A and B are shown apart, each in its own frame.
Chain A
Amino acid sequence: MGVEVKPAMLTAQIRKELPSAGALSFVLDVDMEVSAGITILFGPSGAGKSTLLDCLAGLTRPDAGRIAAGGDTLFDSASGIDFPPQERHIAYVFQTLALFPHLSVEENVSYGLLDLPAPERDRQVAEILGAFRVEKLKKQKPGEISGGEKQRIALARSLVTEPRVLLLDEPLTGLDAELKSSIVDDLRVWNAAKRIPILYVTHSREEVDALGELVIAMENGRVVSAGAPIDVLDAPRRKRLAQAAGFENLLDATVLDLREADGVMRVRLGESASELEVPLGFATAGDRVRLAIRAGDILLATEQPRGLSARNVIAGRITSLEQRGTIVVARVDCGVAFLAHVTPGAVRSLDLTQGRRVWLVLKTHSCHVVD
């Protein structure tokens, strides 16, 4: 197969209106550029991520727009170009994987190579099965193998066709973190040589953190921001994105006063007496704002702390403790309810119990003002 000489870039301007049950129809309206390497397409369910992938792959026809990959125009409503999925050379791994249940692993993987002579086909299939460490399963049927193995095979089946773009629609949901990262590592190794754009759809914040590459955030059919995960997801400007991005605390507050010289403002939380110092937002005294705070950014102290750089220390009482895997979720009542994450070790050494009086410590810049 030819080495990439054209720029391995996917560009898409897509507009598609979808009929929906409600009075408002859903409109996908996206303008994006994806370069070689993994780009994460992130957003809550219903943001239009899968529809976008379907348009790119040619399974759904956009109302208007243009799609180009590797220098070739695949779709252009203005000039009437619309290549069918068979001719786009865009690989697509579905959320359900869609392995052919009646074919063996080997037959599944060779499916996209049926036009090659048999010896060449067998060589390529053996090579990719080796790269994804599933060569032992080649005679098995998809019904006989585990979830993680199926995911590896679905990837191998797509990649063996030497696509110029790879679309992954939540391909690794339901796998544990270790298995997930081992599969992603195999994918990275493969792509280090091929250098194609990979668009990885997820609605899981954990996966974004694990992959840690460029993120395109979508909401309501539109791209709302793009860039490094820390820029896109840690400064959420929209409430739904904030929830999806794992900001456990979303609090209503009233602006008390602005201290523009310090770049901060003081706010009162809800109807309580608790006050917080937060980064300056587009607000004036008396405005209602919404704060997003990650449960993992809150420190717990059993005595009132002094001599801290953190500007916010508020008193409260633990109302519940709930262990979830390796973290403990503490619910603390400070007039408004906060969720804070602590480790089981901290719970033991601080002797945290329900009803215990505690102080929450929050850095100013851990409090994000959401519009």
Chain B
Amino acid sequence: MDALLLSFKLAACVSAILMIVGTPVAYWLAYSNWRGKFLLESAVALPLVLPPTVLGFYALIAMGPRGLLGKLWIALFGHGLAFTFAGLVFASVLYSFPFAVQPLIASFEGVDRKLLHASAVLGAGNLRTFWRVILPLSLPGVVTAVVLSFAHTLGEFGVVLMVGGNLAGITRTVSIDIYDHVQSLEYGEANRMALVLLAISFGVLGLVYAVNRRVWMPWASK
């Protein structure tokens, strides 16, 4: 059960960080007219097509004692970043980035531009327009982003294995745990964990689809 709890803790941290980091990125990608925007869009989508081992490999190099991030971390905290929970969070944030940012972009772009113009001529700056108009009207996209990045982090395997290793209570997440059980031919234990993950994933996707039909949006057209 330690593994399950660890996975939830990891997923919660990653979703929270992704909302903070991903929202400005998504805002910029949704509204910028910069010509080179496609470069950042490609970079954001990269984890969707890259093998987790490739991403994990580079994350590991960056976090290692000779990597830029690793050096910085050692200078700040006196120990390395690889094979720690924080390192796991960092790699997972990269890995789940598109799952948070893409639903946010889609929902920001979906907000009627006339409403943004109306907000501007009524005197509201970009920040107020974001908090009062864009964010409330993008709520389904925000819920989707949180849920998808949470679920995706919960199920990750390759990246965790590369940068976290397999330290019980620190980096042994549920997907690694299942793998371990199978390796040790403990099929009953593996099945128990796998079922929990399957049920959670289904529940989470059900939530995403329900929200996107706006079943709980009080102002949806009747």
Note whether A and B form a binding pair.
yes
A residues neighboring B (CB under 8 Å): 57-59, 84-86, 88, 90-92, 94, 96, 98-103, 111-112, 114-115, 141, 143, 157-158, 161
Known: A57-B117, A59-B120. 18 other contacts (CB 8 A): A85-B117, A86-B123, A86-B125, A90-B121, A92-B121, A94-B117, A98-B114, A99-B118, A100-B132, A102-B137, A103-B132, A111-B119, A111-B124, A112-B124, A143-B221, A143-B222, A157-B122, A161-B123
The answer to whether A114 touches B133 (Cβ under 8 A) is: no
CA distance A103 to B122 in the complex (A): 15
Contacts of A90 in B (CB 8 A): 121
Residues of B95-121 whose CB lies within 8 A of A = 112, 114-115, 117-121
The answer to whether A112 touches B219 (Cβ under 8 A) is: no
Contacts of B119 in A (CB 8 A): 100, 111
CA distance A57 to B123 in the complex (A): 11
Residues of B109-149 whose CB lies within 8 A of A = 112, 114-115, 117-125, 128, 132-133, 136-137
Nearest neighbor of B116 in chain A, beta-carbon distance: A98
The answer to whether B118 touches A102 (Cβ under 8 A) is: no
Q: Given the interface contacts A143-B219, A143-B221, does A84 sit within 8 Å of B120 by beta carbon?
A: yes
Contacts of B120 in A (CB 8 A): 58-59, 84-86
User: Which of A86, A92, A114, A143 has most chain B Cβ within 10 Å?
Assistant: A86
Q: Chain B's nearest CB lies how many Å from the CB of A230?
A: 33
User: Which of B120, B121, B123, B218 has most chain A Cβ within 10 Å?
Assistant: B121
Nearest neighbor of A101 in chain B, beta-carbon distance: B219
Q: Given the interface contacts A98-B112, A143-B221, A143-B222, does A57 sit within 8 Å of B137 by beta carbon?
A: no
The answer to whether A141 touches B219 (Cβ under 8 A) is: yes
The total of interchain contacts (Cβ-Cβ below 8 angstroms) comes to: 65
CA distance A90 to B122 in the complex (A): 8
CA distance A98 to B120 in the complex (A): 12
The answer to whether A96 touches B117 (Cβ under 8 A) is: no
**Residue in B112, B121, B133, B221 whose CB lies within 8 Å of A57:** B121
Q: Given the interface contacts A102-B137, A143-B219, A161-B122, does A92 sit within 8 Å of B117 by beta carbon?
A: yes
Q: Given the interface contacts A102-B219, A157-B122, does A94 sit within 8 Å of B114 by beta carbon?
A: yes
From DSSP, what is the main secondary structure of chain B's interface residues?
helix
Q: Given the interface contacts A84-B120, A161-B123, does A96 sit within 8 Å of B221 by beta carbon?
A: no
Contacts of A92 in B (CB 8 A): 117-118, 121
CA distance A160 to B124 in the complex (A): 14
- Return the 7 tightest CB-CB contacts between A and B, nearest first: A112-B122, A98-B118, A98-B114, A85-B120, A92-B121, A102-B136, A85-B121
Contacts of B114 in A (CB 8 A): 94, 96, 98
Contacts of A84 in B (CB 8 A): 120
Residues of B39-53 whose CB lies within 8 A of A = none
Q: Chain A's nearest CB lies how many Å from the CB of B122?
A: 4
Nearest neighbor of B139 in chain A, beta-carbon distance: A102
Contacts of B133 in A (CB 8 A): 100
Contacts of A115 in B (CB 8 A): 123
User: Which of A84, A88, A101, A157 has most chain B Cβ within 10 Å?
Assistant: A101
Nearest neighbor of A86 in chain B, beta-carbon distance: B123
**Residue in A58, A94, A114 whose CB lies within 8 Å of B118:** A94
Contacts of A86 in B (CB 8 A): 120-121, 123-125
Nearest neighbor of A91 in chain B, beta-carbon distance: B121
**Residue in B122, B221, B222 whose CB lies within 8 Å of A111:** B122
Q: Chain A's nearest CB lies how many Å from the CB of B220?
A: 8
Contacts of B221 in A (CB 8 A): 143
CA distance A266 to B132 in the complex (A): 66
CA distance A94 to B117 in the complex (A): 9
Contacts of A59 in B (CB 8 A): 117, 120-121
**Residue in A88, A94, A114, A141 whose CB lies within 8 Å of B128:** A114
CA distance A58 to B133 in the complex (A): 20
Contacts of A112 in B (CB 8 A): 122-124
Q: Chain B's nearest CB lies how many Å from the CB of A170?
A: 13
CA distance A134 to B123 in the complex (A): 23
Q: Given the interface contacts A94-B114, A94-B117, A111-B132, does A101 sit within 8 Å of B124 by beta carbon?
A: no
Nearest neighbor of A142 in chain B, beta-carbon distance: B219
Contacts of B219 in A (CB 8 A): 101-102, 141, 143
CA distance A64 to B153 in the complex (A): 52
Nearest neighbor of B120 in chain A, beta-carbon distance: A85
CA distance A103 to B218 in the complex (A): 11
User: Which of B112, B117, B137 has most chain A Cβ within 10 Å?
Assistant: B117
Contacts of B132 in A (CB 8 A): 100, 103, 111
Q: Chain B's nearest CB lies how many Å from the CB of A343?
A: 41
Q: Chain B's nearest CB lies how many Å from the CB of A84?
A: 7
Question: Interface code B34-73, partner A: CB below 8 Å = 1, 0 otherwise?
Answer: 0000000000000000000000000000000000000000
Q: Chain A's nearest CB lies how many Å from the CB of B142?
A: 13
User: Which of B112, B218, B219, B221 has most chain A Cβ within 10 Å?
Assistant: B219
Contacts of B218 in A (CB 8 A): 141
Contacts of B137 in A (CB 8 A): 101-102
Q: Chain B's nearest CB lies how many Å from the CB of A104?
A: 10
**Residue in A100, A143, A158 whose CB lies within 8 Å of B115:** A100
